[in-house]
Amino acid sequence: MDITSLTAVELGKKIKAKEISVVDAVKASIAQIEKVEKDVHSFVTIDKEGALKRAEEVQKQIDAGILTGPLAGVPVAIKDNMCTRDMLTTCSSRILENFRPTFTSEAVLNLEKAGAVIIGKTNMDEFAMGSTTETSYYGATKNPWNLNHVPGGSSGGSCAAVAAEECPYALGSDTGGSIRQPSSFCGVVGIKPTYGTVSRYGLVAYGSSLDQIGPIAKDVTDCATILEAIASYDLKDSTSIARETYGFTSALKSDVKGMRIGIPRSYFGDGLDAEVRESILNAVKVLEGKGAIVEEFDLNLVKYAIPAYYVIASAEASSNLARFDGVKYGYRTEEYEGLHNMYKKTRSEGFGPEVKRRIMLGSFVLSSGYYDAYYLKALRTKALIKQEFDRAFEKYDVIIAPAAPTTAPEIGKSLSDPIKMYLGDIYTISVNLAGLPGITIPVGKDTKGLPVGMQIIGNCFEENKIIRAAYTFEQTKTYERPEIAKEAR
């Protein structure tokens, strides 16, 4: 039996039916990692010994009837910006290269309560700052569909690990599209939930008003099931929201009859690759054929999303990253003269170029004389973008958009031009500014054989609508595996 080709829910069922043991499931993931990791480089840390020990413990709890959930015994990979007790949490940065937290983030704890087995921590853009997973201190992750191309970012390691079948599912974080864009590039499914749905406690902060943890998996069923497991109200997170229901799997119905779908004209104009546009519009036709009502509309203020986002995110980053100074934990420079020199040298040596760029930008927009001109103006723009989405959702149940302007670019092409890389987030960042939920699903491939992803956006707390629309489309096509996953058999 090809264990690694199973979805998380399928694997969970077979474990529960005693067709596969938890140890066998973990060993299969580890074996796949050993086969493809040298090419893909999805992981920063692999905890083989800890995962096998945990697998035995979980198996006993399953046999005793203590763990009965759909994810019990299923291996998972965690993005390396979520704290895991006694396991390295580096944010793919030199400044945290030796950091082992004394606690575990709430989302990961929720998975452990559900019986998940953590096999390791995935590579990412340093401190989640980037769109390609090339800014990592530990080197770039490759796209399993074509090793010459990027997997997207910043959750590129998590998305590549799922696509290469190194794990059935993974957790990522999304500040400006960091789950949805790499999911599109890697041909997997990723959900960014409504802001406040999943606790941020234990997530190393980048932009605190924008960050949100979410699931990455092979299909919509897995993502809904995982989101149900990790979502919770948490008193330790002041931005956490107590929701009336967390029943995301109830939306797994192939039915969009009467669903009103909005297509923003500005999202499908200049700048969008013709093959990406065609694949997404063909998917829209499929939903229309299933009874959805499709209509074009204007969403004009979104053109201001990129400048607003980078001002706000960089301002919050400059504040959040001030704590990494070499005093209490993490990297400290070896030679220094006095405290201030130690701060300066530690941060200069510990942070990479992209992180330094955003810290400097953030410090500038928060400085005296520029705070009103940039930061406050960006916050007002954020509020206006939210209002425009509110008006759109008075008329539409969901909005369909691209997840990225193109398929995955070649390694080295985006990083050489930071502005071009920032512009690549044009279709995803407004969702974070407005705190909305969004899901990316694969809808086709371009002529190079690279996946095309479609983004479905919903109103706040209406994940079930985007899950239903995504699930309905997904039932019309089969999941495709990259050659690297097939060849590793």
Residues belonging to the active site: 79, 154, 178
3-state secondary structure 368-432: CCCHHHHHHHHHHHHHHHHHHHHHHHHHCCEEEEECCCCCCCECCCCCCCHHHHHHCCCCCHHHH
Helix (H) or strand (E) holding 84: none
Residue 173 to residues 91, 155, 179, 297, 411, Cα–Cα distance (Å): 11, 7, 6, 30, 22
Starting at the edge strand found earlier in the chain, the sheet holding 169-174 runs 43-46, 117-122, 75-79, 169-174, 212-217, 189-192, 438-445, 451-458, 398-402, 260-264, 293-297
**Phi and psi, residue 212, nearest 5°:** -155, 135
d(C-alpha 164, C-alpha 145), whole Å: 8
Nearest to 121 by CA among 180, 176, 171, 177: 171
Residues whose CB is less than 8 angstroms from the CB of residue 283 and which lie 6 or more positions away in sequence, other chains included: 400, 443, 444, 454, 473
**Phi and psi, residue 117, nearest 5°:** -115, 115
Which amino acid would we find at residue 386?
K
User: 169-174 and 75-79: which strand pairing?
Assistant: parallel
d(C-alpha 251, C-alpha 447), whole Å: 33
Cα Rg for the chain, rounded, in angstroms?
Answer: 21
